[in-house]
Amino acid sequence: MDLLKYLRSNILNLKPYSSARDEYSGEAMVFLDANENPFNQPYNRYPDPLQRALKARIAELKHLSADSIFLGNGSDEPIDLLIRAFCEPGVHHIIQIEPTYGMYQVAAGVNNVAVLKVPLSAEYGLDADAVLGAVTPDTRMIFLCSPNNPTGNALDEGEMIRVIQGFDGPVVVDEAYIDFAPGKSLLSRLPEFSNLIILQTFSKAWGMAGIRLGMAFAAPEIIAVLNKIKYPYNLNILTQSKALELLQDSASVENWVETILEERTRLAEALSGISYVEKVCPSDANFLLVRMKEARKVYEYLVGKGIIVRDRSKVMLCENSLRITVGKGSENETLMEALEEYAL
């Protein structure tokens, strides 16, 4: 596979750790191979290192084969693993849009990989030519995020495809908020692009941020690399079993998403009526980026009232902006009452 030529040579040549459960994964009468304690069942046993049962269920849900799925401790895990797999520290760099989710830069920084930032337009649109124009021979990965955090908007699909087609190396499209967007995921287009890696998570629409479960979808050859370099037992048995249980209830997820979208509309309208609010950015996610006069003061006022939002004022193109997660109706009302009471 062509993309594998971009792997760091130590990763390409790495012989992975082989755990007891890798070497024998079937049923047995007695397990005496993993130095486990025979007492305190079921917590005494190591989890399935490849999360087969969970992947089988997710494969059904996403209409994908299980070997196209990597599961991690949040989507933050595959972000870090991908950078480690493809970028030589101190030599290669990644390209990201700006502003965007902060973990790409942190994961790159931990790995001593530089970050080249390509600003979005004033309306937070993606310019494929600008991204492709920034590519050099040392570019090893491009990160796109759609819907984007903290701006909330989905990126134009045509522009994203132009980036994927115009760059030979891996392009990561982070779709953490895709369930709140009217447009479709790029997942159905995965077979067309061998360099496309899609990230999704159970932390948002599925309401499982606390159990830490993120997904990467890509060609099986790429997934095999991530499996090779991850911690052998990266997902514990509690996460695997709880996720399997919660995944049976996709009807609740649909209801939550519908409610959150209704609340988002209501909240956006109410915020637009606040005198010191200058702009409520259009959102395809479960949060709103809101530009206002003296955002830091408003933030501090809200903290004083026990209401915590995110101050994004120091982020490029987000000056004087607060990022507000759409909560339950009652939570949004509490926020609105406080904002209405606030006088600059």
In whole angstroms, the minimum distance from the beta carbon of 104 to ligand PMP comes to 9
Q: Which is nearer to ligand PMP, 201 or 234 (CB)?
A: 201
**237 touches 246 (CB < 8 A):** no
Identity of the amino acid at 135 = V
In whole angstroms, the minimum distance from the beta carbon of 212 to ligand PMP comes to 7
Q: Which is nearer to ligand PMP, 201 or 332 (CB)?
A: 201
CA dist., res. 225 & res. 18, Å (int): 14
Q: Which is nearer to ligand PMP, 92 or 204 (CB)?
A: 204
CA dist., res. 154 & res. 177, Å (int): 9
In whole angstroms, the minimum distance from the beta carbon of 28 to ligand PMP comes to 34
In whole angstroms, the minimum distance from the beta carbon of 4 to ligand PMP comes to 25
Q: Which is nearer to ligand PMP, 216 or 339 (CB)?
A: 216
Containing 115, the helix (H) or strand (E) segment is strand 114-119
Residues 6+ apart with CB under 8 A from 177: 147, 149, 152, 204, 284, 285, 286
Q: Which is nearer to ligand PMP, 51 or 75 (CB)?
A: 75
Q: How many residues comprise the chain?
A: 344
Q: Which is nearer to ligand PMP, 101 or 180 (CB)?
A: 101
In whole angstroms, the minimum distance from the beta carbon of 333 to ligand PMP comes to 24
Q: Which is nearer to ligand PMP, 101 or 193 (CB)?
A: 101
Residue nearest ligand PMP (C-beta atom): 74
* C-alpha 146, offset from chain centre: 9
In whole angstroms, the minimum distance from the beta carbon of 90 to ligand PMP comes to 26
**177 touches 134 (CB < 8 A):** no
In whole angstroms, the minimum distance from the beta carbon of 173 to ligand PMP comes to 10
Residues 6+ apart with CB under 8 A from 71: 51, 54, 55, 58, 213, 214, 215, 234, 235
Q: Where along the sequence are the contacts to ligand PMP (CB under 6 A)? A: 74-76, 101, 145, 149, 174, 176, 201, 203, 209, 214
The C-alpha R_g of the chain, in whole angstroms, comes to 22
Cα distances (Å, whole numbers) of residue 237 to 48, 52, 75, 295: 8, 12, 18, 43
